[in-house]
Amino acid sequence: MDIAQIYDQLVADHFDEDLFQIYQDAREQALAQIRAKAPAATPSILDLGMGTGEWLLKLVGAFPQATCHGVELSEKMIGVASRKFAERGREVKIIHEDANHFGKHLAAATMDLVTVHFVLNYIDRKRVMAEAFRCLKPGGLLSVASSTHDCFAALHELGKQFLSAEEIKAQFFIPEDLGELEADLREAGFTVARGEVFQKQVRFEDFDHFYHFAMHSGWLADPIFLKYMSQENLSLYREVGKAVFPLEDSFQAAIVLAEKPR
Give residue-wise pLDDT tens across range 57-73: 999 999 999 999 999 99
Residue 79, helix vs strand vs coil: helix
CA distance 256 to 186: 11
Minimal CA–CA distance to 215: which of 231, 202, 203? 231
Contacts 24+ apart (CB under 8 A), 230-238: 237/207, 237/211, 238/207, 238/208
Q: Report the predicted TM-score, pTM, of the whole model to 2 decimal places.
A: 0.95
Percent of the chain with pLDDT over 70: 97
CA distance 101 to 79: 21
Quick one: pLDDT at residue 51?
Answer: 97
Q: Helix, strand, coil shares of the chain as percentages rounded to 5?
A: 45, 25, 30
- Residue 233 neighbours by CB under 8 Å, 6+ apart: none
Tell me the CA distances in angstroms from 36 to 70, 104, 127, 141, one per residue in order.
Answer: 23, 30, 27, 12
Cis-peptide into 246, omega within 30 deg? yes
Quick one: pLDDT at residue 175?
Answer: 96
Quick one: pLDDT at residue 221?
Answer: 74
Give residue-wise pLDDT tens across range 156-214: 888 787 777 666 665 668 999 999 999 999 999 999 999 999 999 999 999 999 989 98
Tell me the CA distances in angstroms from 64 to 35, 86, 139, 149, 175, one per residue in order.
Answer: 13, 15, 20, 36, 32
Quick one: pLDDT at residue 170?
Answer: 59
16 DSSP assignment: G
Low-confidence residues of the chain, pLDDT below 50?
none
Quick one: pLDDT at residue 58?
Answer: 97
Partnered with residue 44 across adjacent β-strands are 67
Minimal CA–CA distance to 108: which of 136, 130, 127, 138? 136
Say if domain 3-152+172-203+250-259 classifies as CATH 3.40.50.150. yes
Quick one: pLDDT at residue 167?
Answer: 66
Please state the separation of Cα 180 from the chain's center in Å: 17
Domain positions in the chain are 3-152+172-203+250-259
Query: Mean pLDDT in the chain?
Result: 93
Quick one: pLDDT at residue 161?
Answer: 77
- Residue 239 neighbours by CB under 8 Å, 6+ apart: none
Phi (first) and psi of residue 234, to 5 degrees: -65, -40
